[in-house]
A = this chain, B = another copy of it.
Amino acid sequence: MKKSPTAEIISVGNELLIGHTLDTNSHWIAKRLTRFGWTLQRITVLRDSLAAIKNGVKGSLERKPDLLITLGGLGPTHDDVTLKGIALALNRQLALNLDAFAMVKARYIALEAPTGLTRFRTKMATLPAGAHPLPNPVGTAPGVLVKVGKTSLVSLPGVPSEMKAIFTGSIIPMLKAAKGQAPLEVSIGLVGIIESALAPALDRTRKAFPGLYFKSHPRGREGGIRSLIQLHVYSVDPDSRSKLDNAIAYLLRELSKSA
């Protein structure tokens, strides 16, 4: 069984930590990583603070994921400090990247923007040494890719439309190239069972079917006829479909015994 490639996300923005904005970006990316058989190990949400970003990126890189995605903080304003934080974490200089500069310039020419390439616009083409820009088809700030050992460190804008456009254009091909095996998954709803009554039957099933992963989510209240438990059963081995079906049949038999 091939090992699943691993990923982490670092989402940057005070608006996420003061409860203004819900981090739907990470959720959108999590779905796609899973679809291509990648394992998202951790999401970290950080303030727009140089020290927080530097420490967060260093911490993630120490865990050596195959892919580390940062979200947000790539814009032209002073409080967009993600690339500065990454440069500090990597101990690399920030410098004007000519490919990125060409992308930003082309964008402003196309927009017929009233003013020229001010230092605020130039900032969006100022990347850590050794980085490559990723085209942004719907906005100005390019995405950024830096290889750090085995980790591909990718920085994307926080504006959802821009993040999705760069992800689709530049990251999905990367996910496909190093594709893991998408996990097998079955979801069933168990009605009229409370979680602590399910637990012993689930425990026996787990022992009888090692290698499968079970997770129960109570959707109703404990007790009462309307209680509902949603049960997810996964396997990272895509050839284990029949094993998975057998495990569910086994669990249902165990439950009917105790009812």
Query: Contact: A75 with B232, CB < 8 Å?
Result: no
Question: Is residue A48 within 8 Å, beta carbon to beta carbon, of the partner chain?
Answer: yes
- The answer for the CA separation of A232 and B41 in the assembled complex, in Å, is 32
Question: Is residue A154 within 8 Å, beta carbon to beta carbon, of the partner chain?
Answer: no
Question: Interface range on chain A: under 10, 10 to 19, 20 to 34, or 35 or more?
Answer: 35 or more
Distance in Å: Cβ of A130 to nearest Cβ of chain B: 25
Q: Which residues of B contact A197 (CB under 8 A)?
A: 113-115
Query: Contact: B19 with A76, CB < 8 Å?
Result: no
Q: Which residues of B contact A140 (CB under 8 A)?
A: 196, 222
Q: Which residues of A contact B (CB under 8 A)?
A: 13-20, 22-24, 26-34, 39-48, 52, 56, 59, 75-79, 107, 111-115, 118, 120-121, 124, 138-140, 159, 183, 194-200, 202-203, 206, 213-218, 221-224, 232, 258
The 4 lowest CB-CB distance pairs between A and B, nearest first, are A19-B31, A111-B223, A19-B30, A120-B199
24 contacting pairs across A/B (C-beta < 8 A): A14-B213, A15-B215, A16-B43, A17-B40, A17-B43, A19-B27, A19-B34, A22-B22, A22-B24, A23-B43, A41-B52, A43-B43, A43-B44, A43-B45, A59-B59, A113-B197, A118-B196, A118-B200, A120-B196, A124-B196, A138-B221, A139-B222, A159-B217, A159-B218
